[in-house]
Structure 1
């Protein structure tokens, strides 16, 4: 079975400041975090593409930690890569042929794994959708905007 995800994970407070376009979905996750699925449509809304999204995320990270996560797995073969930005700088960058890079990135942004053996990836429920596009239907029903 195939699994792929390309997304941004950050604290909802960060996403409230940076996601101003109602066409950019934010999916609420555990511990006050949110996920932005980076579909082609979302990348267009952000004025970027998959290759250059790092510039956007560096800007977002001026409000707090921002993680880019990517996994592509088919029939048990594949890998993960993840990056974390803070204050415009990459502070974590890892790619693996197996698993673990995403959980380590999530740990860097403050996701805490509860006792019981579940890692940060599982704790945020990142396995519930098998593709990036399917996350869009889980988005919060209304736009989230920062209130100053």
Structure 2
């Protein structure tokens, strides 16, 4: 894609099956469109793009381009931030505690990616998971408080 830019990786991210890490000189930069990078920039997973010539806009790890289409035929980069978030949230209920969660009790990125059909970062999943867990705790706390007052 000619509108892709090279972004420095600030936090580990898996994209198209390749793990990018700031500490890996072979995979510490990632190529994506500004729209794809928008949420990752907000989460500080990637830094501001580097200026490069269009012919150099391949990933450092030499990944090949996929079609960029999700299972429903919608282009991955056409998802809004809210649609991405909702797709990730929708994947949570089907997670199996014994195989789909990390030792820390958070969803495995690879499992979420398989379910949603697009690349996600560990920080993105972790942030959404924490938000949902906090909401669930607040609801449980409210329910417990009401039960005691009855």
Establish whether TM, by shorter chain, passes 0.5.
no
TM-score after normalising by structure 1 = 0.24
Structure with higher strand content? 1
Tell which structure's C-alpha radius of gyration is larger. Answer: 2
Structure showing greater relative contact order (alpha-carbon pairs closer than 8 Å, 6 or more residues apart): 1
TM-score, with length taken from structure 2: 0.24
